[in-house]
Amino acid sequence: MTRDESLEATALVHATGVLLASLAITRVVHAGLAHALPALKPPVAPAEYLHLLLVFLPIWVFTAERLGIHRVDVLTGPPIERVRRVLMAQAWGLAAAALILVAAQTAMNRSLIAIFFAISTPLLLLASRWERRLVARRRGDSIVLIVGEAPADTIAEIERARGRRVVLQASADPLRLERRLRTEPVDEVVFLGSLDGQPIRPLVELAANHAVSALVPLSRAVDGIPLPAPRVEFVGRAQMLVYQRTGPSAPAVVVKTLADRLLAAVLLVALAPFMLLIAVAVRLFLGSPILFVQRRAGFYGRPFSMLKFRTMRLGAEAELPALRPRNEMDGPVFKLADDPRVTRFGRFLRRSSLDELPQLFNVLMGHMSLVGPRPLPLDQTDLLAGGHRRRLSMRPGLTCLWQVSGRNNLSFGEWMALDLDYVDRWSLGLDLAILLRTIPAILTGRGAR
């Protein structure tokens, strides 16, 4: 999943939320008008049409997704195009509502339907303006890496067409490109110019191993590469072939994004008293601060502050260099079964995974997902090489295949293989299976340290 696809999924979730809010507002407005205007029929009880909403909403979301009201190029494009797409989605929604009512033979207030579309349409238009600003802000640090020589007008054209900041790298040396992709976030790579005589296929494969889209001039098509057939995109006036791994379907990503936020909110409310008790216990046994905040690599390697209940004594981070020779995990990660920095109460929190509960706030804020590869500290992420970087193409999660398959009992290579397997065959069903397997994994404490 590319970063744009993540933004588009979020935009579609927001549009769905606006539609649901419009339904609630419509109900209140219609009740008020029916009271003030005796000519209007009294409102129908929600129980009589709730089942119809369960049919209408998926149809509207599917239509809006097909019309592309959530697409980044639409949100950042001319305002008239955004308005046109929203009005088309509403027109199709109105037609769907009419067909549903005819098929269901339900006595529905026509005034209620008219008020709903009169309220939801301007709200959707306002939401699209807000989404435009949101996309512009989040894309502000999006990077197009141009490999090869490119004149200034070409750079300006690409920057304008892609809506991203352009970074130049004249050298096409694979080792240098590998180092650049490993150490700094990149959203897509554009190969231009002579490329210093380098064959382009290994460079495209290198970008694919990092889950980064590769744009190649149409005249320099690459054959035999183990990727789906490229699509053609216009970048300014130039036609480019876009090579990237197949991502999940947009509706599935929308459901995952919506479920993450909804479940995180529900769990935070339900577990609030329990989390408060843990916070008090941490304060009593370990003192302040209660939370351990660490910068970790998120979606496409972008840093975020991950939250945990503190399990170590103060100054634990400064003790890490002295403990590295005792590292029990191969690869760039650090794991130690009897870490002397972990307190007795902290060990209990770790074995029960209770220290991870504050990460529900990370899920609610969109930094993490409920299911996804576990986020690594920034220094460990910088040391990931080759195909292991592809794990960053999914939003990090609270639990994952590694978490339910043995955790620290597995080698680093097995851990990375499980993460890449998850990325390659992700589905909503797989997420559900991992969530269900997480419960016994937590109860038994298998592999926890």
pLDDT tens-digit series, residues 106-142 = 666 677 788 888 999 999 999 888 887 777 666 555 6
Location of each CATH 3.40.50 domain in the chain: 142-243
Tokens of 103: 């098929």
Query: Which residues, 6+ apart, have CB-to-CB distance to 369 below 8 Å?
Result: 256, 260, 363, 394, 395, 396, 397, 398
pLDDT in tens, the chain (449 residues): 566 677 778 888 888 889 889 988 988 887 787 777 766 666 666 666 677 777 888 888 888 888 888 877 777 767 888 888 899 998 998 888 888 877 766 666 677 788 888 999 999 999 888 887 777 666 555 678 888 888 888 888 787 776 677 888 888 888 888 888 877 778 789 988 766 556 788 888 888 877 788 888 887 787 777 777 788 877 767 788 888 776 666 678 878 888 898 899 999 999 999 999 999 999 999 999 999 999 999 887 888 999 999 999 988 888 888 888 888 888 788 888 888 999 999 999 988 889 999 999 999 988 999 999 999 998 888 888 767 888 888 899 999 988 888 776 788 888 888 998 898 888 888 999 999 888 887 777 665 55
pTM equals: 0.67
Distance CA 337, CA 325 (A): 13
Here the contacts of 28-37 (C-beta below 8 Å, separation 24 or greater) are 29/115, 29/119, 30/109, 30/111, 30/112, 30/115, 33/111, 33/115
Residue 44 Cα distances to 36, 102, 211, angstroms: 16, 17, 51
Distance between first and last Cα of the chain: 31
Distance CA 213, CA 204 (A): 8
* Backbone φ and ψ of 308, nearest 5°: -145, 155
Buried b (16+ CB within 10 A) or exposed e, 1-22: bbbbbbbbbbbbbbbbebbeeb
Domain 142-243, CATH among 3.40.720, 3.10.620, 3.40.50, 1.25.40: 3.40.50
Report CA 150 to chain centroid distance, whole Å.
32
Contact 290, 279 (CB under 8 A): yes
Interval 171-205: pLDDT, tens: 888 888 888 887 777 878 998 876 655 678 888 88
Q: What is the largest CA-CA distance in the chain?
A: 82
Strands 238-243 and 231-235: antiparallel
Distance CA 83, CA 181 (A): 38
